[in-house]
Chains A and B, each alone.
Chain A
């Protein structure tokens, strides 16, 4: 009887697992308050500030805060915001930004934005749906067409206005 009951309740637990894993929440939001420029040959992972992962639920973060590590598999909505800028006078060019999954570029995730002396700053928002597995690493990489073009953080605007951060990323599990 004891053996039967333990097997039976194990079966109940196993059958409840799909409901449980589907309903497990996972989300993370991080940001950067640092002006960043990329390596012009290899591109560079965009770094978030250490300790900026608020809120965070069922994600890990790499020690350098350059990518997140998925813990719960599922379909995710990913949003990034970048503040692209020329960082010196007389400069014009573009920034490309894309996603990397497990160290490889994600197809069709790239975008390009030009900036110049007359329009020195431009916000870029990327929204993407992506299936992630447990253990997958996910980050954002960027590259520029020349030096002195990158991501800018603008601080101390007024006491009524928050700083303009150079980068923000949000991932939320939707299914």
Chain B
């Protein structure tokens, strides 16, 4: 009886199971970014810190899903007044296949006295293979955008202007 087949089958099944269900990515940006007037702009994330089973657009402005499922996604943003004397707000929201996702928008204000803020948008969404997911932003003033802070001190890491974390929830 070929009993040795059983452990080999178990080993190969367990590795196959892991490959099929895992999908996650974490991307961030070290750039200060301003949105286009009227239509806003997609955040660009040129650094890929972690990736399993996602593709990225050539401009690094959206992800492309490879494994369908329910995903937890979170965008962290550093809205900032990029010049002195600026007051206003910044809005950010998710886009699925280049269309806004309802109930995903968030707004924060920046002012002369509080020129930098941090905003986090967590969300759960169903993605199919080939779906694109990006984060778009718009501001009330051309001098309001997102800011990158390079290594504020020797003991601190840099502050990215934008971070997107996503992982597949259901297995």
A binds B: yes
Q: How far is the CA of A125 from the CA of B152 in the complex (A)?
A: 19
* CB atoms of A131 and B116 under 8 A apart: no
- Asked if B3 is an interface residue, CB under 8 A from chain A, the answer is yes
* CB atoms of B165 and A128 under 8 A apart: yes
Q: How far is the CB of A65 from chain B (nearest CB, A)?
A: 21
Stretch at the interface among B6-14, B55-63, B130-138: B6-14
Q: How far is the CA of A175 from the CA of B155 in the complex (A)?
A: 30
* A-B CB contact pairs (8 Å), 24 listed: A8-B3, A11-B4, A12-B7, A15-B11, A18-B18, A77-B72, A92-B114, A108-B160, A109-B157, A110-B152, A110-B159, A112-B118, A113-B116, A115-B114, A119-B114, A125-B120, A127-B76, A127-B122, A128-B165, A129-B26, A131-B50, A143-B156, A175-B22, A175-B167
Q: How far is the CA of A141 from the CA of B153 in the complex (A)?
A: 13
Q: Inside 8 A of B153's CB, which chain A residues have their CB?
A: 143
Q: How far is the CA of A131 from the CA of B15 in the complex (A)?
A: 18
Given known A111-B76, A112-B159, A124-B118, contact A19–B113 (CB-CB < 8 A): no
Q: Which 7 A-B pairs have the closest CB atoms?
A: A114-B114, A15-B7, A127-B74, A125-B120, A105-B157, A15-B10, A18-B14
User: Which residues 1-38 of B have a CB within 8 angstroms of A?
Assistant: 3-4, 6-8, 10-11, 14-15, 17-18, 22, 24, 26, 28, 30
Q: Inside 8 A of B4's CB, which chain A residues have their CB?
A: 11
Q: Inside 8 A of B30's CB, which chain A residues have their CB?
A: 108
Which listed residue, A11, A77, A119, A127, touches B120 by the CB 8 Å rule? A127
The number of chain B residues with a CB under 8 A from chain A is 45
* CB atoms of A75 and B167 under 8 A apart: yes
Q: How far is the CB of B63 from chain A (nearest CB, A)?
A: 14
Q: Digitize A93-115: 1 where CB-to-B-CB distance is under 8 Å, 0 elsewhere.
A: 01010100000011111111111
- Asked if A165 is an interface residue, CB under 8 A from chain B, the answer is no
Residues on B facing A (Cβ under 8 Å): 3-4, 6-8, 10-11, 14-15, 17-18, 22, 24, 26, 28, 30, 47, 49-50, 72, 74, 76, 78, 111, 113-118, 120, 122, 149, 152-153, 155-160, 163, 165, 167, 169
* CB atoms of A19 and B10 under 8 A apart: yes
- What residue of chain B has the Cβ atom nearest to residue A21's Cβ? B14
Q: How far is the CA of A174 from the CA of B158 in the complex (A)?
A: 26
* CB atoms of A112 and B152 under 8 A apart: yes
User: Which residues 1-29 of A have a CB within 8 angstroms of B?
Assistant: 8, 11-12, 14-16, 18-19, 22
Q: How far is the CA of A109 from the CA of B159 in the complex (A)?
A: 7
